[in-house]
Amino acid sequence: MKYKRILLKLSGESLMGNKQFGIDHERLSEYATQIKEIVGMGVQVAVVIGGGNIFRGIQAEEGGMDRVHGDYMGMLATMINSMALQSALEKTGVETRLQSAIKMEQICEPYIRRKAVRHLEKFRVVIFGAGTGNPYFTTDTAATLRAIEIEADVVLKGTRVDGIYSADPEKDTTATKYKTITFSEVYEKGLEVMDMTAFTLCNENKLPIIIFDMNKPGNLKKIMDGEEVGTLVEF
C-alpha cells in the first residue's frame, strides 16, 4: 500500500453525474463504494467536497450579491454535499465523522484537528465541510490546508479528466498528458491544476498531488496499490 493517509478532494460538480443540478445518487454511491474499498485496505481517508453543484460564491458576486455573503452560502452548499456523502458511506457500513469549519452542533462536530486525527486512526472517514470557514478561499485551499494539518501523505484531486495535459484535451486533440510533473514545471508552463493558493500551499509544505479521473471505478484502489493513474505532481 503506497499511502497510509490521504485527503481526497472532490468537486461539487462531479456529484451531479448526468444531471444539470444537485446530486446524482448513483454517482454518490459509486464514490462511497470506491472509498469503502480503500478503507478496507487500511487507508486513512479524509474528504473535502466542493459545493458547485448547488451554489458558487463567485456566481453570486456576478449577480450583484456581496462576495462575502455569497462565499458563506457556498460553504453551506458544501455541507449539503458532505452530509449526502456521509449518508452514502454509512449505507455501505463505513464509519464516518463530519466536521465543519462553521459550527452546526445539530448535524456535525466542529473542526478540531486532534479529534480529526483520532478518528482517522480509528479508520473512520472524516469529511471536512464548510471550506476553511473564511470567505475568499476555495475548497481546493480548504483541502490542502486540512491535508497539511492532518499530515496526509498526498492530496488526491478527483476530476472528470484523467490527469494534467499540456492543453485542454476537450478543446485540443494534440494535447499530451503528463504522467509526472514538478511543481516548478506547472508554474513555468502556466498549467491549471488547482487554485493557485492551494497549489502553493502544497508546494511549500512538500505535499504531492495526484490529479485523476474519479469517475472511473477502481482508480482510487489502483493509486493505493502504487499503479500510475492520472498525473503525479512532485518535487
pTM given for the model: 0.95
Q: What is the pLDDT, as a whole number, of residue 81?
A: 97
Q: What is the pLDDT, as a whole number, of residue 33?
A: 97
Provide the mean pLDDT of the chain. 94
pLDDT digits (tens, 9 = 90+) for 105-141: 999 999 999 999 999 999 999 999 999 999 999 999 9
Q: What is the pLDDT, as a whole number, of residue 78?
A: 97
Q: In order of start, what are the domains of the chain with their CATH numbers?
A: 5-234 (3.40.1160.10)
Closest CA to 132 of 120, 124, 122, 140: 140
Q: Say whether pLDDT at 170 is over 90.
A: no
**Average pLDDT of the residues in 73-100:** 97
Q: What is the DSSP letter of 133?
A: S
Q: Say whether pLDDT at 178 is over 80.
A: yes
Percent of the chain with pLDDT over 90: 84
pLDDT band at 173 (very low <50, low <70, confident <90, very high): confident
Q: What is the pLDDT, as a whole number, of residue 93?
A: 97
Q: What is the pLDDT, as a whole number, of residue 128?
A: 98
pLDDT band at 187 (very low <50, low <70, confident <90, very high): very high
Grid coordinates in use for 114? 486532534
**Average pLDDT of the residues in 172-187:** 93
- Write the DSSP string, 57-112: HHHHHHTT--HHHHHHHHHHHHHHHHHHHHHHHHHTT--EEEEESS--TTTSEEP-
Q: Say whether pLDDT at 4 is over 90.
A: yes
pLDDT digits (tens, 9 = 90+) for 44-83: 999 999 999 998 776 777 778 898 999 999 999 999 999 9
Q: Say whether pLDDT at 172 is over 90.
A: no
- Write the DSSP string, 163-215: SEESS-TTT-TT--EESEEEHHHHHHHT--SS-HHHHHHHHHTT--EEEEETT
Q: Say whether pLDDT at 103 is over 90.
A: yes
Q: Determine contact, residues 31/160, Cβ cutoff 8 Å.
A: no
Q: What is the DSSP letter of 123?
A: T
